[in-house]
Each structure stands twice: as C-alpha cells, then as structure tokens.
Amino acid sequence: MTDKKKHREVHIENRKARFDYEFLETYVAGLVLTGPEVKAIRAGHVSLADAFCWFVQYELWTNNLNITIEGAQKNIKVLLTKKELKKLDKNLHDGLTIVIRKLFTQNGRIKAEIALARGKKNYDKRQTIKERDIQRELNRKQ
C-alpha cells in the first residue's frame, strides 16, 4: 500500500475586510496558480490585506494578493462559472467591490472565498467595535 501525500491544510482569513466591508454575496472560486505559488500559500507566505478582484475583458483577476516568492507579485486569474461572472459584473456598481475573504483548501485544491461587498462608513465601524466589545464581555461572564 502506498501512502498518499498529505497536503497541508490552508486557512487564511482577511480579517481587515470583515471590519472594513459589509458582505452582500459570497462565492467559492478556484485560482490559477503555479507550483511555487501553491507551495508559498501552503507555507503561509501570503497576505490578503487590501486584496480585491477586478474584471479584465470578462475575466476576474486578483489585485494586491501578495504571495511571497522571490519578491515577485502578479495578478492571479479567478475561476468562476460564466453565470456567476455575469451576475458579479452586473451587480458591480458604485460603492461595491469584490474582496477576497479567505483562502482555504478543498479536496487538496486551494480555493478562495470572494465576496461582493460594500464599504462601511466610520459610524458602521464604530457599531461593529461596540458589538464586538459587548460580545467579549458576555463571553467573559460565562
């Protein structure tokens, strides 16, 4: 019997996006990655801060997704169905953007959870902080 190679589980979350944006719709998407990029992501050498997606000729690409391999940064193609791409493109209007929420593994493949999001105003952020503090106090009392 041969042992199958165990791949390291990946779970990298963009916590800044959760604070800065209100998520309207989420999608699970594939990424077109090369071998060194996969290896760097599995090792945890990736930053999702300020990462977002944008359309180039009816294709969705990442921007500011920093994968640390020899100091190089490039845009990565995001794989979604044609129906999902059309829906995202149609809903993308003033004040909305597509952000990368997290990277994770699914059946040995690296996937991205992307979200159609609206930027929060300062008062919304203060409300989020207040709710988080209240929840923290309730957890301490239990």
What's the pLDDT tens digit per position in 127-138? 888 888 999 999
Tens of pLDDT, residue by residue over 43-86, are 888 889 889 999 998 899 999 888 887 666 788 999 999 999 99
Instruction: Answer whether residue 120 shows pLDDT above 70.
Output: yes
Q: Look at strands 66-67 and 11-13 and give their pairing.
A: unpaired
For the chain, domains (ranges, CATH) are 11-141 (2.40.280.10)
Q: Helix or strand or coil: residue 127?
A: helix
For residue 3, the model assigns a pLDDT of 46
For residue 108, the model assigns a pLDDT of 87
Q: How far is 98 from 116, CA to CA, in rounded Å?
A: 5
Tokens of 116: 């159609």
pTM over the 0.85 mark: no
Query: Nearest-CA neighbor of 110 among 7, 18, 25, 23?
Result: 7
For residue 110, the model assigns a pLDDT of 93
**Cβ count near 115 (within 10 Å):** 21
